Structure 1
Amino acid sequence: MGELRVRSVLVTGANRGIGLGLVQHFLAMPSPPKWVFAGCREPKGQRAQELQNLASKHPNLVVVPLEVSDPASIKAAAGTVEKLLGGSGLNLLINNAGAVTISSLENETLESMRQLYTINTIGPMLLGQAFLPMLKKAAQESPGTGMSCSRAAIVNMSSIAGSIVEMYAWDYGQVTSYRCSKAALNMLTKCQSLGYREHGILCVALHPGWVQTDMGSGRSRTPPLTVDTSVRGMLKVLSSLSEKDTDTFLDWEGKVVPW
């Protein structure tokens, strides 16, 4: 297994949970990225306080205003990142921002379905489009051949709840709009892998596990994984990926999740 070495990375939904954990781990690497871009909706808000505290201690961390459901916000964020990169590419785009609504099949609504598709599926598609020139640039300027997350990659944070084969924990939570949006994200990952393969960009969907976050916790059961355990596992997986792994759906331990 190789070591994950990136010059630049963008993490969406970076103000809490898994996104914040990813940022913390990138900053703590023996050879941290020159640029860690942390996207969040309200950089000056109370929910981003921990992220701002980190930015005050790490000059390589840049907090970028980013609402993944807003095309104008995505375009503005891409412009900010491109300017700071100064002509260099973006090695790694991690589409982590996501949402869930607790619902059953009977009370699912148009509004919920539309909202979750916009955030969980359309957002990652638009982000891939907006940052494609920078990802292509990173692939071109990286030494060697073949694909890797150290060269250029899009990582879509999916969920086993989007697996049509598994239908994980259906009796615990139907969350139909969430499941459908993540299944669609998995298809998007497949499409991106085919569309961006010629540019040397690896595309993969990751299931982080059931993690103790604001989004993952609730009801009467405590998720089994801490953010730290999940993030450590995922970064280990990302460091091992190569060309043969593009268009796959893997969990935080590197195990294949059935579509």
Structure 2
Amino acid sequence: MACRICHSVLVTGSNRGIGLEIVRQLVDSPSGPVKIFASCRDPDGPRTEELQELAQKHQDVITVVQLVKNFSLDICSSASIKEALKLVENEVQEKGLNLIINNAGVNIPGSLADTEKSMMVDVYTSNVVGPMMVAKDFRALLCKAAAQFSHQTSMSCKRSAIINVSTLLSSITICPENFSLAPMYPYRVSKAALNMLTRCLAEDLKKDGILVMALHPGWVQTEMGGSEAPLTAAESVKGMLEVIANLTEKETGTLLDWKGNSIPW
């Protein structure tokens, strides 16, 4: 990335897997953000050691942010989002927040026979309602960032953007090709809903100069993806950040993969 991807970014679900790797590659890049807000459910918990070490090493760039008060699938706690908003606002002030990467999400694998109502509700709450509430509450800061580029009509992540991490498994068109390999009712349905949220936000925020799109990271070797996945987190995130850095208004409201290829809804 030749030029700075953005001045400030909020990454949700950043204590492990893809989220942690996004923070690591951003902070290691000479063209990375000046401010990185790395959020997770429990910043002081045992699963955040790597993130805390990274934040300690880069105290001038990384700020660890809590978005919930407890270990729950419900990441859309209004109180915790508002607290996070205050913290970020105090840091960025009139510059606003340029980029949100809604990476936090959960997967409860389940066939039709195995899937209970509570599983559907919990996964939907985490994967759809959470990103929606983050976008809603941080909209004003995104608008402030977009206004810094009021002389420009083009949209980009350097100006103001929301990236929702989705999946190939969300595609209704492709579902017949891969359903038998991974039924995953709660995950598939919630991510398809996340795609619609992405399209709605893209239309709603277009007038504010805010780009919104969905990005599939590939099948990645993480706790969720498993050890058989063909991609390492480093490979996936390298591709994702290249795509993010080169997004324009033409990509708002789209679903792309980590190589920049279009995925049908």
Question: TM-score if structure 2 supplies the norm length?
Answer: 0.93
User: How far 1:2 moved relative to its partner?
Assistant: 6.7
Provide the residue aligned with 1:181 in structure 2: 190
Structure 1: 5+ residue stretches without partners: none
Rounded to whole Å, the distance in 2 between the matches of 1:111 and 1:183 is 18
The equivalent of 1:147 in structure 2 is 155
User: Is 1:243–2:244 an aligned residue pair?
Assistant: no
Mapping of 1:163-182 within 5 angstroms?
Answer: 163-167=171-175, 169-182=178-191
Supply the RMSD in Å over aligned alpha carbons.
1.3
| Identical pairs, percent | 47
Using the alignment, how far apart are the partners of 1:245 and 1:173 within structure 2? 28
Residues 102-125 of structure 1 show CA distances to partners (whole Å, capped at 9, x for unaligned) of: 110122111000001100000000
2:262 to 235, 249, 256: 256
The worse-fitting range, judged by mean Cα deviation, of 62-71 and 94-103 is 62-71
**Matches of 2:4 and 2:217 in 1, distance apart?**
18
Q: Helix, strand or coil: the match of 1:170?
A: helix
**Does 1:22 find its partner at 2:22?**
yes
Separation in structure 1 between the aligned mates of residue 178 and residue 148 of structure 2, nearest angstrom: 44
The answer for the alignment partner of 2:71 in structure 1 is none
Q: Is the 8 A contact 1:4 1:149 kept in 2?
A: no
What does residue 92 of structure 1 align with?
99
Q: Deviations over 1:101-155 (max 9, x none)?
A: 0110122111000001100000000000011000000000136331001110000
Aligned residue for 1:209, secondary structure, equals coil
Q: 1:7 to 1:226 in 2, by over 3 A?
A: same
**Which range is displaced more, 81-90 or 128-137?**
81-90
> Aligned pair 1:76/2:76, yes or no?
no
Count of residues in Structure 1 that have an aligned counterpart in Structure 2: 256
User: Who is 1:47 aligned against?
Assistant: 47
Partner of 1:62: 63
Match of 1:120 in 2: 127
**After superposition, what is the alpha-carbon deviation per residue over 1:163-209, rounded to whole angstroms, capped at 9, x for unaligned?**
00111532222110110000000000000000000000000000000
Q: Which runs of 5+ in 2 are unaligned?
A: 69-74
Alignment partner of 1:161 is 2:162: no
Q: Which runs of 4+ in 1 moved over 6 A?
A: none
Q: Which residue in the other structure is 1:137 paired with?
A: 144
